[in-house]
Amino acid sequence: MTATETETRRITTAKAISEAIAQEMRANPDVFVMGEDVGTYGGIFGSTGGLYDEFGSERILDTPISETGFIGAGIGAAVEGLRPVVELMFVDFFGVCMDQIYNHMAKIHYESGGNVKVPMVLMMAVGGGYSDAAQHSQCLWATFAHMPGLKVVVPSNPYDAKGLMASAIQDDNPVLFMFHKGVMGLPWMAKNPRSIGDVPEERYTVPIGKANVAHEGSDVTVVSVSMSVQHCLDVAEALEGTTSVEVLDLRTIVPLDREAILKSVGKTGRLVIVDEDYKSFGLSGEVVATITDTDPRLLKAPVQRVAYPDVPVPYSRVLEYEALPTRDKIQKAIETVMKG
């Protein structure tokens, strides 16, 4: 394989994530993986594909269904200096292990006055769109972002996923790495072509806390994360020649790149936020507050929020797509702010 072919290699987000973990594991013997079905299965959503074959059962640990037990064990290993990558299969399962996440993983560094570090990645699948209903389809990133002490990473594509996973493993803080099932490029789920993309083979990082202008524009800013970024890019490309849309992919929610939001809205004066997490008390409100806390006069028109309505995720396809952020809704929101 030539260097050029290497550079243009296209892989899924799932493959990009497992490749990042493998490279970090080769570089640092303290890195190991724990979770349900992360071993021979390779992760239900492919995040640990191939790792068991290379690293074996000493470093890729299948766990019992005991989320409190194994997330707590990850914390214990991390405070003793290892770098665990722990998978919570679905974010929706946080209810059975939240104490370890927010009372221990998130707080130990603060409570210890900075004397104890918890260098740990907790990765998990989020998001809906495939009729998995109320207990297996939520995003919930704002729930975790609300609580101090956790970094929250929400990639939208293979390149960012690989670089952000490498950064997460190298970080001395607990990092929640939340991958949307729809961006993983799974062979058994309908996908946006953006879930497969160019990814360098070599090790690299994408910094945590830096947003990315995924599509430059001058008329309106569309701020989004994760799967919804792919929809926003589809709309931005479709509107080329009509409306110049700037798509800002936040990539991480904690730390939130407020400067990037202010810079883009300062340029366009118009703001749409697209968020698959619940609308109220969440990310979309926080993005608006970033503007209004600084200078509400940056806005030429009222903000439009395309976020998940305040209802549990319904099962029926008709009902679920009524609630999900879709390209049609995003386009309509852009048209509305352009009239404002």
Partner 1 sequence: MRLGFYSEMVRIRTYEEAIRRDYHADKTPAWDIGAGLIPGEMHLAAGQEPVAVGLCANLVQGDALTGPHRPHHLALAKGVDMKAMTAEIFGRTTGLGKGKGGHMHLFDPSQHFSCSGIIAEGYPVAVGQALAFRRRGTDNIAVAVAGEGAVNQGAFHEALNLASLWNLPVIFVIEDNDWAISVHRDSSTPVKDNAERAASYGIPSKRIEGNDVEAIYEASKQAVERARAGGGPSFLEVHTVRLWGHFEGDAQAYRGDELTEAESRDPIPLYATKLENAGILDEATAAAIKQTAVDEVEEAIAFAKASPEPAPSDAYLHVFA
DSSP-assigned letter for residue 101: I
Residue 41 CB, nearest distance to partner 1 (Å)?
18
Enumerate the active-site residues. Answer: 136
Residue 99, interface with partner 1 (CB under 8 A)?
yes
Burial 7-26 (b: 16+ CB within 10 A, else e): eeeebbbbbbbbbbbbbbbe
Q: Which two tokens stand for residue 37?
A: 């079905």
Is position 81 an interface residue for partner 1 (rule: CB under 8 A)? yes
**Is the bond into 255 cis (omega within 30 degrees of 0)?**
yes
Applying CB under 8 A, among 21, 60, 126, 151 the residue interacting with partner 1 is: 151
Using the structure block, give the residue that is written with the tokens 């929809």: 231
Closer residue to partner 1, CB minimum distance, 64 or 241? 64
* Out of 27, 96, 189, 238, the residue judged to bind partner 1 by CB under 8 A: 96
Would you put residue 50 in left (φ > 0), alpha (ψ -120 to 50) or beta? left
68 binds partner 1 (CB under 8 A): yes
State which of positions 188-217 bind partner 1 (CB under 8 A).
none
Q: Interface residues for partner 1 in 21-40 (CB under 8 A)?
A: 32
Q: Choose, by CB under 8 A, the member of 11, 108, 168, 232 that binds partner 1.
A: 108
Q: Does 240 contact partner 1 by CB under 8 A? A: no
Applying CB under 8 A, the site for partner 1 has a residue count of 44
Closest CA to 224 of 326, 92, 316, 86: 326
Of residues 168-187, those binding partner 1 (CB under 8 A): 172-173
**CB closer to partner 1, 84 vs 217:** 84
* 216 phi and psi angles, rounded to 5 deg: -80, 145
Q: How far is CA 326 from CA 208, 228, 238, 308, in A?
A: 27, 8, 14, 10
Per-residue binder mask for partner 1 (CB under 8 A), 121-150, x = binder: ---------------------------xx-
> Is there binding between residue 152 and partner 1 (CB under 8 A)?
no
> Of 70 and 278, which CB lies nearer to partner 1 in the complex structure?
70
Buried b (16+ CB within 10 A) or exposed e, 111-139: eeeeeebbbbbbbbbbbbbbebbeebbbb
Both tokens assigned to 239: 């509107």
| Piece of 41-49, 112-120, 268-276, 287-295 that binds partner 1 (CB under 8 A) | 112-120
What number of CA atoms fall less than 13 Å from residue 49's CA on the CB side? 15
Q: In the complex, which residues of this chain contact partner 1 (CB under 8 A)? A: 32, 58, 61, 63-64, 66, 68-82, 84, 96, 99-100, 103-104, 107-117, 119, 148-149, 151, 172-173
